[in-house]
């Protein structure tokens, strides 16, 4: 075994641990986005574009060229991201593609509802969406899925739309035959109330948190930021809300104290400035991923 073999093995172990970390992050992020009708194709598009932006703009990932020194060319970005030069070039030069996923990535439910509402073959004499059977030739929900949903499975799509309140079953609900009929109700694909201001705040908080996370895993950063958690695994369910109110109260007081304390470090005149602070959050029924003993006071110090 060569001297580099143990280093390669350690590097691969670290890669696998980081991939496991990515899976944990994605599990909760995907849950959030699916709840708001953002599908995996759209998330994949956003992830690829994020990788291209980092490879193109972050000096950490610049690759040295024999003739031109450090630069970010399509070739160097392809090496960094694993994407092809053609895809990188297309995404960078297509401003529309940078912010919007291709049509085949848009939400199937929205496409199907739009087709039902606008296709003349699926309208009644007044121009409204007509009642249609699930199966059979056009106009049927099965044919609607083929045409506007890129041949998505009919029954799961129908069940999803019924659950969302977009359509309803009509007729005998006890009849489980294949000739059920669907009625159009609304084209609005709803999600739990979440204001634009909430989303803007979440963007900043999540950006700060994940930035801190990647800095904590960067050996070249000194001093490294610290991630701390304090929690109990055996809070009485009957006292959950009372405990949560206590946590929120303490967080508010702590944040106010930090804000006041940081004021004395403010830059004066034309001094260079940096962004620095602390983020706090409450944990409620989150899955435990650390191998700590339950029923104990668990305080973790993660790097």
Give the highest mean pLDDT range of 23-37, 164-178, 263-277: 263-277
Residue of 110, 19, 9, 97 lying closest to 52 (CA atoms): 97
3-state secondary structure of 181: strand
Domain extent listing, the chain: 9-105, 108-184, 226-302
Do the beta carbons of residue 157 and residue 166 sit within 8 Å?
no
Rounded to a whole number of angstroms, the CA Rg of the chain reads 26
106 DSSP assignment: S
Chain segment 181-225, per-residue pLDDT in tens = 899 987 665 555 566 666 777 778 888 888 888 888 777 878 777
Whole-structure pTM value: 0.57
Backbone phi, then psi, for 63, in 5-degree steps? -110, 135
Chain segment 122-181, per-residue pLDDT in tens = 998 888 899 999 888 888 999 998 888 876 778 888 888 888 788 888 876 555 555 588
State the pLDDT confidence band at 301, using cuts at 50, 70 and 90.
very low
Sign of CA dihedral 76, 82, 35, 145: positive
State the pLDDT confidence band at 242, using cuts at 50, 70 and 90.
very high
Q: What is the arithmetic mean of pLDDT over 3-15?
A: 72
Q: What is the arithmetic mean of pLDDT over 25-35?
A: 83
What is the reported pLDDT for 73? 79
Do the beta carbons of residue 225 and residue 212 sit within 8 Å?
yes
What is the reported pLDDT for 130? 92
Chain segment 77-124, per-residue pLDDT in tens = 888 888 888 888 888 887 545 444 444 434 677 788 888 988 889 998
What is the reported pLDDT for 141? 92
What is the reported pLDDT for 78? 86
Question: What counts of helices (H) and strands (E) characterise the chain?
Answer: 10, 7
Do the beta carbons of residue 223 and residue 212 sit within 8 Å?
no
H helices of 82-153, where?
85-93, 95-99, 108-118, 141-148
Look up residue 62 and give its two tokens: 């610049």
Torsion angle, alpha carbons of 150, 155, 156, 160, to 10: 100
What is the reported pLDDT for 101? 47
State the pLDDT confidence band at 286, using cuts at 50, 70 and 90.
confident
Mean pLDDT lowest among 16-25, 218-227, 286-295: 286-295
CA distances from 28 to 281, 286, 291 (A): 15, 10, 19
Do the beta carbons of residue 194 and residue 145 sit within 8 Å?
no
Query: Distance between CA atoms of 164 and 256, rounded to whole angstroms?
Result: 41
């Amino acid at each position: 075994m060569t001297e580099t073999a143990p280093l390669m093995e350690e590097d691969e172990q670290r890669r696998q641990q980081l991939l496991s970390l990515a899976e944990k992050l994605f599990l909760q992020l995907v849950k959030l986005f699916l709840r708001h009708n953002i599908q995996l194709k759209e998330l994949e598009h956003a992830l690829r574009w994020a990788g291209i932006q980092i490879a193109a703009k972050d000096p950490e990932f610049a690759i040295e060229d024999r003739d031109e020194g450090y630069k970010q060319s399509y070739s160097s970005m392809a090496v960094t991201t694993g994407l092809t030069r053609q895809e990188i070039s297309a995404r960078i030069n297509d401003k529309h593609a940078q912010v919007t996923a291709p049509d085949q990535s848009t939400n199937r439910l929205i496409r199907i509802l739009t087709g039902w509402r606008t296709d003349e073959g699926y309208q009644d004499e007044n121009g409204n969406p007509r009642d249609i059977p699930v199966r059979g030739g056009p106009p049927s929900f099965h044919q609607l899925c083929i045409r506007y949903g890129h041949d998505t499975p009919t029954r799961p799509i129908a069940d999803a739309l019924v659950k969302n309140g977009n359509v309803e079953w009509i007729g005998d609900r006890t009849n489980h035959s294949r000739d059920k009929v669907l009625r159009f109700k609304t084209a609005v694909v709803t999600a739990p109330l979440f204001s634009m201001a909430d989303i803007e705040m979440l963007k900043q908080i999540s950006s700060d948190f994940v930035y801190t996370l990647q800095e904590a895993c960067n050996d070249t950063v000194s001093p490294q930021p610290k991630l701390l958690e304090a929690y109990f695994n055996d809070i009485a369910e009957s006292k959950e809300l009372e405990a949560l109110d206590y946590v929120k109260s303490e967080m508010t007081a702590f944040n106010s104290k930090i804000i006041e304390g940081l004021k004395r470090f403010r830059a004066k005149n034309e001094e260079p400035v940096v962004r620095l602070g602390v983020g706090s959050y409450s944990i409620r029924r989150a899955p435990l991923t650390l191998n700590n003993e339950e029923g104990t006071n668990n305080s973790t110090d993660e790097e």
